[in-house]
Chains A and B, each alone.
Chain A
Amino acid sequence: MTAYEFSLSGTSMQARADGTLWLPEARALCVADLHFGKSERMARRGGSLLPPYDSTETLIRLADAVRACNPATVYCLGDSFDDDAAGLALPPDIEDGLTGLMAGREWVWIAGNHDPAPIALGGSHRDRATVGPVTLRHIADPSETGPELSGHYHPKHGVATRAGRQVRRCFLISGARAILPAFGCYTGGLSCTKAPLDALLKPGAVAVMLGRRAVPVPLDRALA
């Protein structure tokens, strides 16, 4: 088993080593911050001409996860596209690949700050969604009291080990809330113990770091 199993207010979940989150009862796969079209957007805005293969790489990883889980529903927790124009200007092969993944299952695009408007691809478009008691949204809502899944912050965490400091993307599980790591290829990270993420930490919070397995690490000590 390479995933980390936990539950939020009674709903069991698996934080997978690939950065996706699996809800076995609902057969739902959640993924956050795909950032399709990031290199294209940077070039369009006059930035660096980065290798234009990030969308392909992200699609390959997403296809692997979908193949492994065969979900009934896929929830993309926002910032799936680096901006609305990127969503509209997807290269044909990426669009075809996504359409192939969407066939035969329900697909929900939750709006993010990068991609607020619905895009032309299939699937349904929501501001937020619910799976049983769990609310899914892009940015964690501090006033939320029920179980909640979100993305946006690209959490990462570092641990000093015998083999040197290991910094990895991670899930942040704190109270009834879990924040997913960014899944997209060209994405950086925000440290779990720094503002603004530290404000969301509760006693017993855990970072689940990605590697060959999903590895849980307590955050209490890092916070102290």
Chain B
Amino acid sequence: MTRTRLPAAFQNWFARQGWTPHPHQLALLEARDAPATLLIAPTGGGKTLAGFLPTLVDLSGGAGPGMHTLYVSPLKALANDIARNLRHPADALGLKIRIEDRTGDTGQAQRKRQRVDPPHILLTTPESLALLLSYPEAPQIFAGLKRIVLDEIHALAESKRGDQLMLALSRLATLAPDAARVGLSATVEDPPALADFMAPGPPEGAGACRIIHADPGPAPDIAILDTAHPPPWSGMGGRYAVHEVMDAIAAARTTLVFINTRAQAELFFQALWQVNDANLPIGLHHGSLSRDARARVEAAMVAGDLRAVVCTGSLDLGIDWGNVDLVIQVGAPKNVKRLVQRIGRANHRYNAPSRALLVPANRFEVIECRAALDAVAARDLDGERRADGPLDVLCQHILLSACAAPFDADALFGEVRSAGPYRRLPRADYDRCLDYCATGGYALRAYDRWQRLMQRPDGLWQLRDPRRASMLRMNAGTIVDTETLKVRLRGGPGLGEVEESFVASLTPGDTFLIGGQVVRYDTLKEMTVMVSRSPSREPRIAVFQGTKLACSTRLSERYLELVNDAAARHRLPAHTRDWLDLQEDISALPAHDRLLVETFTRKNRSYLCLYGFAGKNAMQTLGLLLTRRMESLNLAPVGFVSNDYALLIWGLTEVADPAELLASGPLKQGWQDWLGENAVMKRTFRTVATIGGLLERNLPGQRKSGRQATFSSDILYDTLRRFDPDHLMMEITRREAMHGLVSFERIDEMLARTDGRIDHRRAPHVTPMAAPLLLEVGKVPIKGLAQDDALEEEAAQMMAEAGLDAP
């Protein structure tokens, strides 16, 4: 019956490709008049074609002038590829339509033309869409829009880019009220939440968004990789398994090797090549490599020239590669949903099961991998609840709205509340954002004469200085780069980028890995890191940052369930079972509703080990908070180390009563004080203030001149903290710290679930579960004025070497 909706020309085209339309493709065509539809399909299910089929069918009936369909994707490259791939059916079906992309890479002339004469199908990113909407011509550009396709909407919904996109769509809903929305998503844990996020609608009773589930296909075939040696006690790299991984690559056609951080990817790639006796073509792909290097690997993958790629989350999205038949995840997945999405990258032939192998990097991770496998089998996906739309993104939206045209505050408020993430936005918050945009929002009303937005006699808000619009547009977007510097080989090509903070830790002569080669840091020249090839095989410093995921709440829960379920424990390898049995004999096993705290003495130091299972960010924050509190109780902490599961603190005095230390009242007070001074807060503030338009972005070319006049965001943070601590930007920064990197939310959650039920075990010596932490890298020393000490020490030495007297 549904087939009748597919015009004959299309049926023929499908037949000529040797394809049969998938039921979900037809279902989407069927639903083409619905205001919003969300399609959930595994990779390889022809999602993109499903999203465009209604458009192509519509346009085959004759294309009028103006934009018909807007396509938004998180990746510029994807917008590019889709433009090319759509051309094929459009030409074959004889459609006379213009398909163009518009991203940060689109030339000035083409952009200008697109504003005057938009193509039938425009492919773009959330940032470029927000910009397009900030032009006075926006109402004309989008006047006749019929359809909006949101690709990889699950990925967009995970960041502020999704909030920005939904605000842009709320504007579009006013300009083109009839445009239907289609969201395309990979498997997610809570489809209704995602549907609610993308649905248009008034605040009460969100607009209905239909959900179409594609056939998820056969269950994946996944297992933990068998290795000759058990995984080491600690460490993250998984290099112990390199031979077995090599064998698995050799046995498969094409393999994606996912690894959690860029530094680990570099190290693992190097280790693989050391055992790659057959010289199989294996590539490397991560976000710190230069765009050229990444493009080369992607092209080689498309051409089928590679047998494997070692990659990070950089390949979580993007064009499907049909020839991938194995996914190997090195290191625990940390998050079941992401694991499922990654596994889906293998075998894109729709009806074949995906094949995947997990490689736990240490003993703790053996259990996490087992728990994750169980979760995948039970289709029990995790996911943190999405926070309400952030206010810094709203501030940017208000400012960009003013760039397009004067606006009415009430009307804009109504529009904003029709966006999923902002449906519960209180008017008071909106008014605060508007006031911030207009006056700066300071307790000291200093800018009444120089307001950014002014209210006209007719009540509309407009830019005080219309010339300001171009500056505001340049600031658009919610991606705030960590300051990165280019890395260039002396007299050679660019290799990639590393964080400025990483460069700050280097001294000339230090060696590190990038792009699979060991390089030596020579000098910093005009904001470029100059390096030379190093003959050494072992880099001295391996770590440059890149995001590390914290183990999700749900997976942590499953971890604890598994440990406490005697029957389930039999499915763990023998070495790990023995480890847990020993732990139970000497101390106890951590449980979900109790907090296990061990104390023991070793080499004249007192240790405290706390099994909080709150994820690495929260456990690190807890370490900082507890050691702070220990200082005030004269317990002389010396340092600590943490991972996703536990926190180990050492000091000079034994903690007799851990319950007192963990009392939530003082802990929360300490949190307030500590939070203010924390470097993570300053970093969060920088992002918030940039998105909110308080700080202007460093634009290319601007960095070289006027250095005297540019000062760091830390100065603004310190000033606000002292004189105006309740300022909107400070408030937003604190809200973000609750989840994000500081993750106090999960400490709260841990305290709530254990509710004072603390099992204090005084062990005779280091316990089996605490032992790996002693070996863990990333120990945090408790420092007072360590930086000043180090500076004075270094300076005195330099003065002495130079033969100069220091006083």
B793 at interface by CB-CB < 8 Å:
yes
Residues of chain B within 8 A of A215, CB atoms compared = 791-792, 795
B465-506: which residues lie under 8 A (CB-CB) from chain A? Answer: 465, 467-468, 471, 503-506
Q: Which of A44, A53, A164, A191 interacts with B719 by CB under 8 Å?
A: A53
Does B711 belong to the interface (CB within 8 Å)?
Answer: yes
Evaluate contact between B442 and A51: CB separation under 8 angstroms: yes
Chain A residue, CB-CB nearest to B505: A164
Q: Does B316 contact A (CB under 8 A)?
A: no
| Shortest Cβ distance from A54 into B: residue | B719
Report the minimum CB–CB distance from A44 to chain B (whole Å).
5
Q: Closest chain B residue to A184 by CB distance? A: B711
- Is A99 part of the contact surface with B, judged by Cβ < 8 Å? no
Beta-carbon contacts under 8 Å, B434-462 to A = 439-440, 442, 444, 446-447, 449-450, 452
Stretch among B15-23, B340-348, B798-806 lining the A interface:
B798-806
Interchain CB contact (< 8 A) of B444 among A53, A57, A182: A53
User: Does B565 sit within 8 A of A, measured CB to CB?
Assistant: no
With A44-B450, A165-B504, A221-B802 in contact, do A51 and B792 touch (Cβ < 8 Å)?
no
Asked if B791 contacts A49 (CB within 8 A), the reply is no
Does A97 interact with chain B (Cβ within 8 Å)?
no
Report how far A48 CA is from B799 CA in the complex, Å: 42
Would you call B715 and A186 a contact (CB within 8 A)? yes
Given the known A-B contacts A48-B694, A53-B722, A218-B802, are A162 and B715 also in contact in the complex, defined by CB atoms under 8 Å?
no
Q: How many A-B residue pairs have CB under 8 A?
A: 143
Does B719 contact A185, Cβ atoms closer than 8 Å? yes
Residues of B within 8 Å of A161, CB to CB, are 787, 790-791, 793-794
Question: Which residue of B696, B708, B794, B806 is within 8 Å of A189 (Cβ)?
Answer: B708
**Contact assessment for B798 and A186 in the assembled complex, using a CB-CB cutoff below 8 Å:** no
Please tell me if the beta carbons of B722 and A218 are within 8 angstroms of each other in the complex: no
A52 within 8 A of B: yes
Q: B118 on the interface (CB 8 Å rule)?
A: no
A209 contacts the other chain (Cβ, under 8 Å)? yes
Q: Is B204 an interface residue (CB 8 A)?
A: no
Are A216's CB and B799's CB within 8 A? yes
CB distance from A36 to the nearest CB of B (A): 13
Binary contact readout A49-61 vs B (1 if CB under 8 angstroms, 0 otherwise)? 1111110110000
Q: Which of A1, A39, A52 has the most CB of B within 10 A?
A: A52
> Binary interface profile of A, 150-179, with partner B (CB < 8 Å = 1, else 0)?
000110000111111110100000000000
Verify if A5 is at the interface (C-beta below 8 Å from B). Answer: yes
A interface footprint on B395-406 (CB within 8 Å = 1, 0 otherwise):
000000000000
| Known A51-B727, A52-B446: A4·B787 in contact at CB below 8 Å | no
In the complex, which residues of chain B have a beta carbon less than 8 angstroms from the beta carbon of A191? 707
With contacts A46-B468, A153-B708, A206-B804 taken as known, whether A52 is within 8 angstroms of B795 at the C-beta atoms is no
Are the C-beta atoms of B807 and A5 separated by less than 8 Å? yes
Q: Are A49 and B710 in contact (CB under 8 A)?
A: no
Asked if A213 is at the interface (CB within 8 A of a chain B CB), the reply is: yes
Known: A187-B711, A188-B708, A218-B802. Is A159-B791 also a contact (CB below 8 A)?
Answer: yes
Q: What is the bound-complex CA distance between A220 and B802, given in angstroms?
A: 8
- Determine whether the beta carbon of A163 is less than 8 Å from that of B799: no
A91–B446 Cα distance when bound, in Å, is 9
Taking a contact as CB atoms under 8 Å apart, the answer to whether A50 and B694 are in contact is: yes
Chain B residues with CB under 8 A of A209: 791, 795
Known: A165-B505, A221-B802. A49 touches B447 (CB 8 A): yes
Q: Is A67 an interface residue (CB 8 A)?
A: no
Give the nearest-CB partner of B444 in chain A.
Answer: A52
Are B806 and A187 in contact, with the CB atoms below 8 A?
no
A200 interfacial contact with B, CB 8 Å? no
List the B side residues contacting A186 at CB < 8 Å.
711, 715-716
Residues of chain A within 8 A of B442, CB atoms compared: 49, 51-53
A63 on the interface (CB 8 Å rule)?
A: no
- Bound-state CA distance A149–B713 (Å) is 30
Q: Could you tell me the distance between the alpha carbons of A114 and B715 in the complex, rounded to whole angstroms?
A: 22
Shortest CB distance A206–B (Å): 7
User: What residues of B have a CB within 8 angstroms of the CB of A52 in the complex?
Assistant: 440, 442, 444, 446-447
Total count of chain B residues near the partner, CB < 8 A:
56
Q: Is the CB of B505 within 8 A of A185?
A: no
Q: Which A179-219 residues have C-beta < 8 A from chain B? A: 182, 185-191, 204, 206, 209, 211-213, 215-218
Does A43 sit at the interface, judged by CB under 8 A? Answer: yes
With contact pairs A163-B791, A215-B791 given, residues A48 and B447 touching in the complex (Cβ less than 8 Å)? no
Contact-size category for A: 35 or more
A7 to chain B, nearest CB (A): 12
**Which of chain B's residues have a CB closer than 8 A to the CB of A211?**
788, 791-792
A33 to B706, CA, bound (A): 15
- Cα distance A211–B790 when bound, in Å? 12
Convert A120-163 into 0s and 1s, putting 1 for each residue whose CB lies closer than 8 angstroms to a CB of B.
00000000000000000000000000000000011000011111
The docked-state distance in angstroms from the alpha carbon of A57 to that of B716 is 11
Task: Give Cα distance in the complex from A124 to B693, angstroms.
Answer: 40
Q: A216-B795, A220-B802 are in contact. Are A46 and B465 (CB under 8 A)?
A: yes
Q: Kindly provide the distance from the CB of A8 to the nearest chain B CB, expressed in whole angstroms.
A: 15
Pairwise interchain contact B450-A57, C-beta atoms closer than 8 A: no
Judge whether A48 and B695 touch: CB under 8 Å.
Answer: yes
**Is the Cβ of B506 less than 8 Å from the Cβ of A160?**
yes
Within the complex, the shortest CB–CB distance from A1 to chain B, in Å, comes to 7
Q: Which residues of B contact A153 (CB under 8 A)?
A: 708
Cα distance A1–B719 in the bound complex, in angstroms: 28
* B507, CB-defined interface residue at 8 Å: yes
| Contact between B707 and A166, CB atoms less than 8 A apart | no
Residues of B near A216 (CB, < 8 A) are: 795, 799, 804, 806
B724, A51: Cβ atoms under 8 Å?
Answer: yes
A115 part of interface (Cβ distance < 8 Å): no
Scoring A5, A49, A185 by chain B CB atoms within 10 A of each residue's CB, the highest score goes to A49
Given contact pairs A187-B708, A206-B804, enumerate 15 new A-B contacts (beta carbons under 8 Å).
Answer: A4-B807, A46-B464, A47-B696, A49-B439, A51-B720, A51-B724, A53-B719, A163-B787, A165-B503, A187-B709, A204-B804, A211-B791, A212-B788, A215-B791, A216-B806
> Top 10 A-B pairs ranked by shortest CB distance?
A49-B440, A52-B446, A163-B790, A165-B504, A218-B802, A43-B450, A53-B723, A188-B711, A161-B790, A46-B465
Chain B residues in the interface with A (C-beta under 8 A): 439-440, 442, 444, 446-447, 449-450, 452, 464-465, 467-468, 471, 503-507, 693-696, 707-712, 715-716, 719-720, 722-724, 727, 783, 785-795, 798-799, 801-802, 804, 806-807
CB-defined A-B contacts under 8 Å, sample of 15: A46-B467, A48-B695, A49-B439, A49-B450, A49-B694, A50-B716, A51-B723, A52-B447, A53-B723, A91-B446, A161-B791, A165-B504, A190-B707, A209-B791, A209-B795
